[in-house]
Chain A
Amino acid sequence: MTAVSIGCRDLVVSTGDRVLLDVASLEVSAGTTLAVLGPNGAGKSTLLRALAHLGGMSRTGDVLLDGQPATASQLRAASAAVFQRPVLQRASALDNAAAGLRLRGTARREARRRARPWLRALGVGHLADQPARTLSGGEAQRVAIARALAVEPRVLLLDEPFTGLDATSRADLIADLRTVLHRLGAAVLLVTHDREEARALADRTALLVAGRLRQVGGTAHVLDAPADADCASLLGYTTRLAPDLTGCGELLVARPERCQLLDPAASLPPNTIAVGGTVRRTVPLGGTTRVDVDTAAEPVAVLTTAEVTALPGQAVRVAVDLEHVRRIPAAVLSSSGAPPSRNAAADPMD
């Protein structure tokens, strides 16, 4: 089996006159995992389905296998996909895991023989003879993943496969999948809205907002250095300190959990930036408390584990250690619609 990379060039997907997706270029090398992170409706699933030539969408541009434009049948032969909901057949777990091979023309006995180890690798080997309909959501998704892996695809497409699982099964499955993906050596595209999934599984991460790639690079770098305001909120840097408030020429963003509330009279710790405002409301979230503070610009949110004594209407300061502040240059401040350039911002690690 030869390793294959998957990618696309000038891929545009539209319905009617609305452009759902416009990706100038993207590549996932063999043996690596790319996470495509984006909010709901960003076009993540559209990208995945377009790469697999699935769905009756109007599409222009090329999907590339090893840099060469690929036909639908080449893509079908090379790839397998797992969707958010495990769509299983009315059959045993083993027959479901073997279904991908059966659909590709492998004889039943051989397909079952090859599928069994993948069920075991995903921790559901003991359920092989169970009817698929009796499986729990997590077990069914494990079977669906085993089914995709059993065909030993050179390209594996994962469309939010952990959504709908409870926290424990999700964490277990991510750990198991990480081990398995390592062994498979395929080019893996993981579509998700959860940055922790990207952190756990992906070598590289791409941020997709409103159908366009805004940022592509090493996962650790991308998750830590948002290129624009949309990327910042996607990555959890949702507390925005506008230039008017801070006197900097740039938008400063921070994670709400990195912000703290200070009394206006208290002295500012070193290497800290602070803005003044009044408390609008405090919302206890069990363990943490969210405090919304009205400022001269937009409201900012603080998430704190400390006891909050400030009452609504009271003057406070919101302070952040400079280490936890990210700067969004004024040139890319345009926060909605198209980014200034069609090409995604690339980081030095690329």
Chain B
Amino acid sequence: MEQKTKINAEDGRQDYVITREFDLPVELLFRAHAEAGIVEQWMNTKVLKLESKKFGGYQFETSDPQGNVAFKASGVIHTFIPNQKIVRTFEMDNAPFGVQLEVYEFERLTDDTSRLHMHVIYESVAQRDQVLKLPFAQGLNWAHNKLQDIAGKLK
């Protein structure tokens, strides 16, 4: 099966590019990034604030299944051109990843299809690599916790 979401992360660079084609008109793809109620649904996070305009800001808060806040992130919007472009910063609270600059470009392909081009730039190569490894490391930790749970029951 062809992969719809592609990531280009070259060795030794402090950025990566994510591209994805959608069976959606570009207007709907853009709305999914601009409206808090929709962002909440697909990003699986609570949106405390989202001011979709130039010099606006945003705040996300994500809780774990037990309801504890697991993740907080925020940033400011530098460019906001409907159906075309969003430039914003993104920074996680209490995390060693620094601030990242995100450039979203929304492209109309046909009336019913569109493409998202996301360029994400970090402060350093090491920080970018850490973020790329994050879901992988989490997966390992979860596997380990599960093992501990099972082992705990065997005692």
Specify whether A and B are partners. no
